[in-house]
Structure 1
Amino acid sequence: MIIDTHLHLIYRDRLTYPWLKDEPGLDADFTWETYAREARRLGISSVLHMEVDVAPADIEAETAMVQGLSQSPDSLLRGVIASCRPEDPGFAAYLEAQRANPFVKGFRRVLHVVPDDVSEGALFRENVKRLSGTGLTFDLCMFPHQIDKAKALVDLAPDVTFIIDHCGVPDIKGHGYDTWKRGITEIARRGNVRVKISGIPAYGDRENWTLDDLKPYFDHTLGAFGFDRAIWGSDWPVCTLGGGLSTWVATTQALLHGCTMDEKDKLFAANAKRLWQLG
């Protein structure tokens, strides 16, 4: 069984995605039907949708759209990690509304698309602390040089589970291993942080990456966090920039060569199932 904890769906006729104009490789419709056809062939049995940084006015509409798709017969969708704006005064009311919806499993605010001082604001930090006691997770997507911002948020709310997306977004193509490694080692020392093994082919040479290019990053991430604190995600359709869903599943399997069945199960399914109480 594989649980995909990081699926993005793009429906340009229903929602607005301001960032797509700068990403021609992703400026297209990526639908549930297209993803599910391939996912079922790979043994993916449950899926969480990850917010796609839609326009702020469409945040709640995105959750509603995905929840609607989950109602179709035999859907694999089990919940969403919803977009949020902790820097906004309306966050507290938004959080209470989302808490009433069991389909919402957590939140994400992408940090590398905003100025660094956004996450340092008093309101942003106060609102992140509001997640304490809710059971809702918070995904952190940032560049290696922003690791101190992530650590500050993590330390503010020790009973909130934070998830580092995409192994910390290493610059694999630019050989940025040493800087990235230090940051991952430091944040992994915090017990309320998990890491998502997802999407890293997109950070290498997208046309010519090899297994050996990814292996040091994969190995250090799992070495720092351990198999009990790692979860798997596809980052589809971003992963199509580096080979696609089937390639990433096969690559992960190859990188896990020599690991036990228990370790593989933790990464692919058991940890996610426990964290988000997925049936």
Structure 2
Amino acid sequence: MNTRIDAHQHFWKFDPLRDSWIDATMRKIQRDFLPEDLLPLLTANKFEGCVAVQASQSEEETKFLLDLASKNDFIKGVVGWVDLRDKNVAKRLEYFSVHEKVKGFRHVVQGEPDDFMFRADLRNGIAALRQFDYTYDILIFHRQLPAAIDLVNHFHDQPFVIDHVAKPDIKAGNISSWKKDIQEIAKAENVSCKISGMVTEADWSSWKEDDLKPYLDVIFENFSTDKLMFGSDWPVCNVAANYNLIVKTLEDYIAQFSIEEQNKIWSENAKMFYRL
């Protein structure tokens, strides 16, 4: 089997003020998570590397991840943060473009109003990504998919990837409106999807593989094995599972596919999308 890439994980030095989203229900992850914590998990599960994704909205965060990446070869790429709404966004992108490991950017849109992706200043920032060959990670709740559909159709040649399968309400078993919107957004050739963050949308204490299966069926039917990539969402996944279980859950599901297709999901698609 080829070695694997974890296309979505986070590092942080826990700061209760900055990281206020990690509330009392998430006590398990109210601590530091750094490369030395992740490396044994990657090694045990045959991963050659990972993509570190921003968790807080500051350029300091991007620099923090780049510093870790410079000291740890297994961090193959960084998805950072810049203020895409800043009218000088091209200057900020140029500033980061000297760092080979910066592959793209993300904004925590799930925390913004539902019309956020229609904003002219944000779209100006998305347009600027193209000249630096940067990707954009779409982090949204399922109710924001209609706005995301409009965004990806507006920027045909911008590579987008949907994080956490757009956070459907797995816990309640709601699937129909999310499924309809996934069918629509998957038609856009410039959009990929990360198989990540699903267990945290399920019932943290009692989810089973069967709870995830209908949602996995939808993304595999619509995105195909050419546009899907694995992401652990570590350490956030720890509130509902652990690294080994996240990997095993996907291994079980994709056992039905050819080895070639499995390799695409585990590594080839991430390498191509992020130019690793």
- Per the TM superposition, whether the score is higher than 0.5 is yes
| Contact 2:93-2:132 within 8 A present in 1 as well | no
What are the Cα deviations for residues 76-125 of structure 1, in whole angstroms up to 9, with x where unaligned?
11120001322233423212212232111001112110112332211111
CA distance in 2, matches of 1:229, 1:192: 9
Give the corresponding residue for 1:85: 83
Give the corresponding residue for 1:137: 135
Change (3 A) 1:13 1:178: closer
What are the Cα deviations for residues 240-276 of structure 1, in whole angstroms up to 9, with x where unaligned?
1121111000000001121100110000001111222
Change (3 A) 1:71 1:129: closer
CA distance in 2, matches of 1:247, 1:141: 23
Give the corresponding residue for 2:59: 60
Secondary structure of the structure 1 residue equivalent to 2:177: helix
Deviation at 1:18, TM superposition (A): 4.0
Count of residues paired in the alignment:
273
* Counterpart among 2, 6, 9 of residue 8 in structure 2: 6
* Matched residue type, 2:66: Q
Secondary structure of the structure 2 residue equivalent to 1:102: coil
Deviation at 1:20, TM superposition (A): 2.9
Question: Could you tell me the TM-score, scaled by structure 2's length?
Answer: 0.93
Secondary structure of the structure 2 residue equivalent to 1:69: helix
Deviation at 1:199, TM superposition (A): 1.7
CA distance in 2, matches of 1:226, 1:193: 12
What are the Cα deviations for residues 194-222 of structure 1, in whole angstroms up to 9, with x where unaligned?
00111211111111111111111111101
| Contact 1:125-1:156 within 8 A present in 2 as well | no
1:113 and 2:147 correspond: no
Secondary structure of the structure 2 residue equivalent to 1:214: helix
| Contact 1:106-1:138 within 8 A present in 2 as well | yes
| Contact 2:109-2:138 within 8 A present in 1 as well | yes
* Matched residue type, 1:69: L
CA distance in 2, matches of 1:15, 1:275: 34
Give the corresponding residue for 1:234: 232
CA distance in 2, matches of 1:127, 1:48: 22
Deviation at 1:16, TM superposition (A): 3.5
CA distance in 1, matches of 2:153, 2:97: 23
Q: Which runs of 4+ in 1 moved over 4 A?
A: none
C-alpha root-mean-square deviation of aligned residues, in Å? 1.9
CA distance in 1, matches of 2:260, 2:67: 34
| Contact 1:184-1:224 within 8 A present in 2 as well | yes
CA distance in 1, matches of 2:32, 2:232: 17
Secondary structure of the structure 2 residue equivalent to 1:130: helix
Give the corresponding residue for 2:166: 168
Give the corresponding residue for 1:147: 145
Deviation at 1:23, TM superposition (A): 5.5
Secondary structure of the structure 2 residue equivalent to 1:52: coil
1:50 and 2:63 correspond: no
Give the corresponding residue for 1:206: 204
* Matched residue type, 1:165: D
Give the corresponding residue for 1:124: 122
| Contact 2:69-2:101 within 8 A present in 1 as well | no
1:24 and 2:21 correspond: no
Question: Could you tell me the TM-score, scaled by structure 1's length?
Answer: 0.92
Q: Unpaired segments of 5 or more residues in structure 2? A: none
Secondary structure of the structure 2 residue equivalent to 1:17: coil
Secondary structure of the structure 2 residue equivalent to 1:154: helix
Q: Unpaired segments of 5 or more residues in structure 1? A: none
